[in-house]
Amino acid sequence: MNIGFDAKRAFYNRTGLGNYSRNIFQYLNKFYPENKYFLFSPKENNSFDFEGKTDANIILANGFIGKKIPSLWRSFFISKDIEKYKLDIYHGLSNEIPKGINSQTTKTIVTIHDLIFLRFPELYKPTDRFIYNKKFKFACQKADKIIAISQQTKQDIIQFYKINHEKIEVVYQSCDPIYYKVCNNEKKVAVQKKYNLPLQYILNVGTVERRKNILSVIKALKLGNIKMPLVVVGRKTSYQQEIDSFIVKNNLTSQIIFIDNVDFLDLPAIYQMSSLFVYPSIFEGFGIPIIEAINSKVPVITSNISSLPEAGGKKSLYVEPYNIEQISEMIKKVLENKTLKNNIIEESYAFVQKFRGENIAKDIMRVYLS
């Protein structure tokens, strides 16, 4: 088959949608090399030299409009290029597909990651909500197939956009293969010194925003008189001010460590050196940090709602995200019981093997062939 992808995120995004786009292409290129793959992007960004890129046909925006207004090219004019290269499948990897694709010659698939902007509209600007809703709804209605990254996202698509469930296929995500490798002691020591990390710590990874609910973890440490440091890795938002206020008021400044701009290659070591991963998010499309932590053989405590149990499996530990006492007790339970901790690690690690690249590629290809 000739298979095309909306590759803008693959070339320009360091996390989230960018990782998903790169991983999907790399897995398919590795396990199904008999197909021809086309990466469509307004421009090429050489900072992402991902595996298999040189095997693909990279199609860049052309003409005055394509070069000057790339968003218009992605939404409209890209259809002419799709027809030119006689694609069998065009896969919108990040919630949207262009208008004007000839459905007689090219079948369209869109991956919908989440509809959080509809569930929690207060977290988004009105203009952003309007644009997202317009693009996502059009894609869901017009695509031949929808890939949802979790059962939770599938149910949201059905609920908010009234799409027939038979049109939606659930294909989970995987984390980057970098998390499958055990870091040697030399790497760990170097990372520990680079970021001035404590020898033991609880870890949280993700944007420091209200939806991620990191303040509940900090409150739980205070309530339970838990002295182990908490390391939070992620970009800060305005939510940081509320967190800082609580930290100062409760004399926790030396215990809570915030790190942003972490080198991607250092993240596996940061995970692997941690004693526990705590992620009480109030809603996720899937929850990739959970998969990263489990592959790093770190026990996980996360929320018992949305898609998070789908990512964590039966042996991770679950809490109500705003139940501070429950979070506190669960943290102490894991830190104080080595047998429990090892059992969680072992059985959770076996569970997440289903999210390995070969399995994801197989599920994606099944959708393409259908």
Looking at per-residue pLDDT, the higher value among 217 and 64 belongs to 217
Q: 170 - beta bridge partners? A: 148
Condensed to tens digits (0 to 9), the pLDDT of residues 296-309 reads: 999 999 999 999 99
Is residue 141 over pLDDT 90? yes
CA-CA distances (angstroms) from residue 149 to 115, 154, 284? 11, 8, 10
Is residue 288 over pLDDT 70? yes
| Alpha carbons 295 and 291: distance in angstroms, whole number | 6
- The angle subtended at Cα 77 by Cα 73 and Cα 83, nearest 5°, is 130
Q: Which amino acid appears at position 202 of this protein?
A: I
Percentage of residues in the chain having pLDDT higher than 90: 84
Domain identity same for 154 and 187: no
For residue 368, being part of any structural domain is answered with no
| Alpha carbons 247 and 254: distance in angstroms, whole number | 9
Q: Which tokens go with 302?
A: 């996360």
Domain identity same for 145 and 280: no
Q: Which of 138, 171, 204 is the C-terminal boundary of a domain?
A: 171
Average pLDDT, the chain: 95
Backbone angles phi, psi at 202, to 5 degrees: -90, 145
* Number of domains the chain is built from: 2
For residue 324, being part of any structural domain is answered with yes
Domain identity same for 163 and 208: no
pLDDT mean over 84-102: 93
Asked if 59 contacts 40 with a C-beta cutoff of 8 angstroms, the reply is: yes
By CB atoms closer than 10 A (0-12, 13-18, 19+), residue 257 is middle
E-assigned strand segments in 226-303: 230-233, 256-259, 276-279, 300-303
For residue 359, being part of any structural domain is answered with no
| Alpha carbons 93 and 35: distance in angstroms, whole number | 18
Domain identity same for 319 and 191: yes
Residue in the block written with tokens 């959970």? 290
Q: Which of 122, 154, 171 is the C-terminal boundary of a domain?
A: 171
| Alpha carbons 150 and 91: distance in angstroms, whole number | 18
Residue among 44, 38, 54 at smallest CA distance from 93: 38
For residue 369, being part of any structural domain is answered with no
Domain identity same for 299 and 246: yes
Q: Which of 171, 206, 236 is the C-terminal boundary of a domain?
A: 171
Q: Which amino acid appears at position 277 of this protein?
A: F
pLDDT mean over 277-289: 97
Looking up residue 280, the CATH number of its domain turns out to be 3.40.50.2000
User: Torsion-angle region of residue 213: left (phi > 0), alpha (psi -120 to 50) or beta?
Assistant: left
What is the model's pLDDT at position 165?
A: 97
Is residue 45 over pLDDT 90? no
Domain identity same for 126 and 202: no
Domain identity same for 117 and 237: no
The model carries a pTM of: 0.94
| Alpha carbons 144 and 103: distance in angstroms, whole number | 8
What is the model's pLDDT at position 47?
A: 66
Q: Are strands 89-92 and 2-6 parallel, antiparallel or unpaired?
A: parallel
Is residue 182 over pLDDT 70? yes
pLDDT band at 263 (very low <50, low <70, confident <90, very high): very high
Domain identity same for 200 and 163: no
Q: 39 - beta bridge partners? A: 5, 58
What is the model's pLDDT at position 62?
A: 84
Condensed to tens digits (0 to 9), the pLDDT of residues 116-128 reads: 999 999 999 999 9
Residue among 165, 140, 111, 94 at smallest CA distance from 360: 111
Domain identity same for 298 and 323: yes
Structural domain boundaries, residue 285: 177-354
Domain identity same for 144 and 196: no
For residue 367, being part of any structural domain is answered with no
pLDDT mean over 203-223: 97
Domain identity same for 218 and 329: yes
For residue 320, being part of any structural domain is answered with yes
| Beta carbons within 8 Å of 129's beta carbon, 6+ residues apart | 117, 118, 121
Domain identity same for 112 and 36: yes
Asked if 289 contacts 316 with a C-beta cutoff of 8 angstroms, the reply is: no
